[in-house]
Amino acid sequence: MARRAQTGSSRLSRGLLLLWALLGTGLCHVGAEAEGFGQDARTSPPVAVFNWTAQLVEETYTNITQKCWEFFVDLMRNVTASELCEWKVISRPYSLLQSCLEGWADHLRYGYPNALAEQYIFQSHHRYFHNCTLEHQVYFDPPEDVLLAMIIAPICLIPFLVTLVIWRSKDGKAQP
């Protein structure tokens, strides 16, 4: 009989532990207003309860993004150093990393883009793609003083050339 009482006590403690876990994780709605407990119960200030759901979602997303990163690193092991800057080769692992980060954020309703996802994207660029340069040279606008000189020089040269043509045509001699 003592054994049976111990089993009942064990079930009770497991049930309390489960209830405590559910209340602690926010799965049970503690803040819901109880009907029929009188005016004092409805007007008393709510008990401060920490919302564990947001923290659990963030922790879960952190763990999942770590797995996304590990999968990306594993895929990048198959890419040689000479192929690191070829988009045809790296587009699949890079796209899988991005879709993994974005997909799990959407699934967990965490919000995307977020700081953690950006950290992994920057980390991938820093680790794998920092030596990639463009094949074609990119042209930038010159500094303003050079640009201004390039615009003003032809404008000032035009009146000088027009004056020179008119002055040479007044000579009256036919040019061959």
Give domain limits for the chain: 58-129
Confidence of residue 5 (pLDDT cuts 50, 70, 90): very low
pLDDT digit string (tens) for 67-98? 999 999 999 999 998 898 888 999 999 999 99
Q: How far apart are CA 176 and CA 174, in angstroms?
A: 6
Residue 1 scores a pLDDT above 70: no
Q: Per CATH, is 58-129 categorized as 1.10.150.510?
A: yes
Residue 83 identity: E
* pLDDT tens-digit readout, 125-150: 999 988 886 666 667 788 999 999 99
Give the model confidence (pLDDT) of 53-65 as tens digits.
888 999 999 999 9
Contact assessment for residue 65 and residue 120, using Cβ atoms and an 8 Å cutoff: yes
- Residue 36, Cβ neighbours under 10 Å: how many? 5
Task: Tell me if the pTM is above 0.75.
Answer: no
| pLDDT of the residue at 27 | 44
Q: In the structure, what pLDDT confidence band is assigned to residue 124 with cuts at 50, 70 and 90?
A: very high
